[in-house]
Amino acid sequence: MGNGNPSGGIGTPSMGGGGRGGRSVGAMPRMTWFQWAEVRIGRIQAVTLAEGEKAAEPISDKDHLKQILGYDTATARGDKRPVLVYFHWPHEDKVHGKLSTTVCSRTLDDEMAARWSKLFRCVQVDMGESLPKYTKMLGEKGQPLFVALDDELDVVGEIEVTKSGAKLRKALESTLKKFPAAVKALKQAERDHKAAIAQAKKLEKKKQYEEAVKVIDKVRFGDVKVTKSWEKAYSYGMLLAQKAERDLEKSR
């Protein structure tokens, strides 16, 4: 895209930001974590052209940021989720390090917040290695902060960094409502989950328990775990798995 390469770039998706403790939620095992693409935002680097090669149009700052935040690759994958950016300061930073450490070890180590994070494409910006010129274009304000961006990099929502995972969960839910396409996708997921439960019940009546488990597991272990039907699917799936196991034992 244009004449230039980003300095820094898209990192490998990571569980970064805490959430590895495996704590259970009620009777459920811990099963969801934040998954961040960790990036640093450096300057646009000029491309050395071969002799006779024609220079392309210079890349704009906006396109530079889109490259680094992974907009092009997300579009190619058909990933239409809004982008959640976390401006993360190094834990050793004298001013913001303590808060960053708390967020990573406590705030993000929350099952319900992590479930809502799956409805966003999460990008963590390394503030120790990123240029302020670019981070400020994304809504950074000199302190740890979450922002939700639309397709044009406009800030649609800001989420204050807090020590509470429950507050973050509520903020993510509220912020998602500002994206009509995301709301529409969530409603479709609810319909899909209801349909899956109905299909599994038909298979259960036919005593096709293993097939029923396969259908319901697509809901139980999918990325969308915040619909009203998901909780029903989770408990129902456990019941079906027990029936499938007993049926298997009888056949031995």
- Local confidence pLDDT in tens for the 252 residues of the chain: 333 444 455 444 554 444 444 444 445 678 899 999 999 999 987 666 566 666 667 889 999 999 999 999 999 999 999 999 999 999 999 999 999 999 999 999 999 999 999 999 999 999 999 999 999 999 999 999 999 999 999 999 999 999 999 999 999 999 999 999 999 999 999 999 999 999 999 999 999 999 999 999 999 999 999 999 999 999 999 999 999 999 888 877
Please report how many Cα atoms fall inside a 13 Å half-sphere around the Cα of residue 194, on the Cβ side: 8
Cβ distance 108 to 34 under 8 Å?
Answer: yes
pTM for this entry? 0.85
For residues 224, 79, 100 and 133, what is the CA-based torsion angle, rounded to 10 degrees?
A: -160
Structure tokens at 89: 């300061």
For the chain, domain boundaries: 5-178, 183-251
Q: Which residue's structure tokens are 């300057």?
A: 43
- Please provide the CATH number assigned to the domain covering 5-178: 3.40.30.10
Q: Which residue's structure tokens are 């272990």?
A: 221
